[in-house]
Structure 1
Amino acid sequence: MEAVIKSVKIAGMQAAVPPHRHSYVETPELFTQEEADKIYGSTGIHSRRILPKHLCASDMCIAAAETLLQRLEWDPASVDILIYVSQDSDYALPASACLMQSRLGLPSSAACLDVSLGCSGFVYGTWIASQLLNGSNGTRALVLCGDTSSRHLLPNDRGTLPLFGDAGVATALEFDESWPDSYAVFGTDGKGGQHIAVKAGGRRHPTIPDSAPRSGEEEAKLFKDSRLHLNGAAVFSFTLKVVPKLIKDTLALADIHADDIDMVVMHQANKFILEHLRKKAKIPEHKYLIDMQDFGNTSSASVPLAICHKLSSYFEDNESKKVMLGGFGVGWSWGCIVTDMLPSVAPELIEIPDDFEPLSLEQV
């Protein structure tokens, strides 16, 4: 599907990560130094940020949003839309976005909803919020993306443990009739859903026990099914099949060439995959951001996180940049957007303290 987004600009970005770092290099019981070197060489990941158990993805997003609102000097009452993109909701119900509305002080007239998407979630969330602004009297929106992917991992799974980290981001969107059009392309193929999945935890395979206690064998199976299953070979095959065409189609929709793009930021899956994509799309290295060394794969947060970590000074010259932002993965789901970007405040990264007050059903 193709979409033209009119009159909406990115006003700012803010990322929040935990201060706690974990590196597979420091787990000799799982990896030898030679194995660790090989993992780093292919993934580009050295360490990940791990959120303490008493905090959730929503808390990182709230920390990012509160900081961003202050830096933009936006009154929370002026925000009309909040989209929370996550596959780690605080509760089965209500939607986390409703609780975030109260915590952030947004007006009761605001439209707030959760979107359950992973790697493509930032692009989808930006598009949804933009279209809601265009179809309403709203003028400002927040797109909050965050996941605690590390909590889905088996503690001794050598295939996934080095890869996934935790992060939350906030992106501010603003209606501006003078802003140039943005262009987006999306796609879905549910046949790939089995290749990146957490089988248990939903209604199909609930973790809530039935009337009778589970056997030890059933509990062991549930423990494993509640963790991430990742088929790396299938992910790589899907990426090389779909994403180069996604880039090509988005450029065609925008009626531009790759040379017209100032910066490309794709979902930070791993270095090996991203390098293959860059070469296939013939994008110069200086126009292509790879930044996961200190964070790992952070799911829906990865694109804004990379921007906030590496491109803060890039936007300080007060010149608009034409950027391509893309996400691909779990679902299979993919999306890409070409937009002009000149944030009112430069993207920034903060660390969320351990004593941050968590979002609570009872306290909002």
Structure 2
Amino acid sequence: MIIIKGIEYYLPEQVESNDHGDKITSKIGIYERHIAGPDEYASDLAIAAANQLFDKHEIKREDIDFLLYCTQSPDYYLPTTACVIQNKLSLPTSVGALDINLGCSGYIYGLSLAKGLIETGQANNVLFITAETYSKFIHPMDRSVKPLFGDGAAATLLSAGPSQYGVQSLVFGTDGRGSNNLIVPAGGLRNPLSEANFQEETDAFGNVRSKSNLYMNGPEIFNFTLNEVPASINKLLDKEGSTLEDFDFFIFHQANQHMLEYLRKKLKIDPNKFSVQFSDCGNTVSSTIPIALKRELENGKIKTGDKVMLVGFGVGYSWAAASLIWHD
């Protein structure tokens, strides 16, 4: 099995506050978001998180033999940003390095890839970094997404561990029919940036955006989540022959209060066993799960031997769930 030997995260210094008296703020439960500066990019956040991991856990850079980097805010079309990060972190040139273009399910997909690399003997220590700067895609006058998303990064070290601990079972799901419901329509090769794609439009709710900005169909995303998340959890339980009561703690993708509370009640999960860690940082996409996991460890909510369920879901549509038995 593979175990998590350390997690650290980094949030940009710049903070934006949501209107505390606003109905939307009360509904989503997000009061502050950390925003990358004009010259600060996802890879910069990734490097800061990784450096914290090395420093605080006394991890040797030469012991890393694979780097996984999950982002939808790459520095360039090419080269692979993981290669840029390898150099800036002074990792050995013998490491493997690759990018994963996934959003809110990305952390669990990364755990799966690391598990495969380690358990097949291809790597011993995998540095897995998630980093996102969705703020750079968001129009400042688009209230449908601006209050939700914050920037951030997390770095996780994964290594082989005792067979009774670590990442156990995983399940996945994909439905590309929902790809247009959370999308930046322009900027890739299919629809390159042009003057027309920077023209701003105002929707029926007064939100302003262009084709170069992030668009989210909130109701469709909500419906997708309510359908697929419980189904994926049941699939995981069936795979393990377990029940929800067998789990000591649950960490779902930290989307927003409205969505998570609806899911928690639908699944009848005890609130004391359910992570809520977004009020001061917002939805940090692929970094929400590791940030929440790190905070709950610091809070003493997760201890050695505890069985924890991780669930990611969102843009793609893409979703995944994993069980792990914590080893401190």
Which amino acid counterpart does residue 323 of structure 2 have in structure 1? V
Q: What is the CA deviation profile of residues 274-312 of structure 1, one whole-angstrom value per residue up to 9, with x for unaligned ones?
A: 111111212100000111111111100111112223431
Residue 166 in structure 1 maps to residue 151 in structure 2? yes
Please name the residue that 2:57 is paired with.
72
- Counterpart of 2:268 (choices 268, 271, 282) is 282
Name the structure, 1 or 2, with higher relative contact order (CA <8 Å, separation 6+). Answer: 1
- Distance in 2 (alpha carbons) for counterparts of 1:284 and 1:269: 19
Please name the residue that 1:359 is paired with.
none
Question: 1:45: Cα distance to partner?
Answer: 0.7
Please name the residue that 1:20 is paired with.
14
Q: What is the CA deviation profile of residues 71-120 of structure 1, one whole-angstrom value per residue up to 9, with x for unaligned ones?
A: 22221111111100000001111111011112222221211100000010
- For structure 2, the residue ranges without an aligned partner over 5 or more in a row are 202-208
Residue 332 in structure 1 maps to residue 326 in structure 2? no
Which amino acid counterpart does residue 138 of structure 1 have in structure 2? A
- 1:137/1:194 CA distance change after superposition, 3 Å: closer
Question: 1:315: Cα distance to partner?
Answer: 6.6
- Counterpart of 2:106 (choices 104, 121, 124) is 121
- Distance in 1 (alpha carbons) for counterparts of 2:197 and 2:87: 40
- Distance in 2 (alpha carbons) for counterparts of 1:265 and 1:63: 24
- Counterpart of 1:302 (choices 264, 280, 288) is 288
Matches within 5 A, 1:252-271: 252-271=238-257
- Distance in 2 (alpha carbons) for counterparts of 1:221 and 1:94: 31
Which amino acid counterpart does residue 82 of structure 1 have in structure 2? L
Structure 1: 4+ residue segments shifted above 6 A:
none
Which amino acid counterpart does residue 288 of structure 2 have in structure 1? S
Question: When the two structures are aligned, how many residues end up with a matched partner?
Answer: 320
- Distance in 1 (alpha carbons) for counterparts of 2:164 and 2:293: 21
Which amino acid counterpart does residue 162 of structure 1 have in structure 2? P
Question: 1:136: Cα distance to partner?
Answer: 2.8
Question: 1:149: Cα distance to partner?
Answer: 1.1
Matches within 5 A, 1:1-364: 7-25=1-19, 33=21, 36=22, 38-180=23-165, 182-207=168-193, 214=195, 219-220=198-199, 224-314=210-300, 319-343=304-328
Q: What is the CA deviation profile of residues 197-254 of structure 1, one whole-angstrom value per residue up to 9, with x for unaligned ones?
A: 00111101112x5xxxx5xx56416971110110000011001100011112112222
- 1:66/1:22 CA distance change after superposition, 3 Å: same
- 1:9/1:205 CA distance change after superposition, 3 Å: same
Question: 1:188: Cα distance to partner?
Answer: 0.0
Question: 1:336: Cα distance to partner?
Answer: 0.7
- Distance in 2 (alpha carbons) for counterparts of 1:98 and 1:179: 34
Question: 1:260: Cα distance to partner?
Answer: 1.5
Return 328-337 or 221-230, whichever deviates more.
Answer: 221-230
Return 41-50 or 248-257, whichever deviates more.
Answer: 248-257
Which amino acid counterpart does residue 220 of structure 1 have in structure 2? Q
RMSD: 1.8
- 1:283/1:330 CA distance change after superposition, 3 Å: same
Question: 1:13: Cα distance to partner?
Answer: 0.7
- For structure 1, the residue ranges without an aligned partner over 5 or more in a row are 1-6, 27-32, 344-364
TM-score (norm 2): 0.93
Q: What is the CA deviation profile of residues 35-70 of structure 1, one whole-angstrom value per residue up to 9, with x for unaligned ones?
A: x1x112211111111111111111111111111122
Identity of aligned residues (%): 37
Asked whether the 8 Å contact 2:253–2:288 carries over to 1, the reply is: yes
TM-score (norm 1): 0.84
Q: Which has the larger radius of gyration?
A: 1
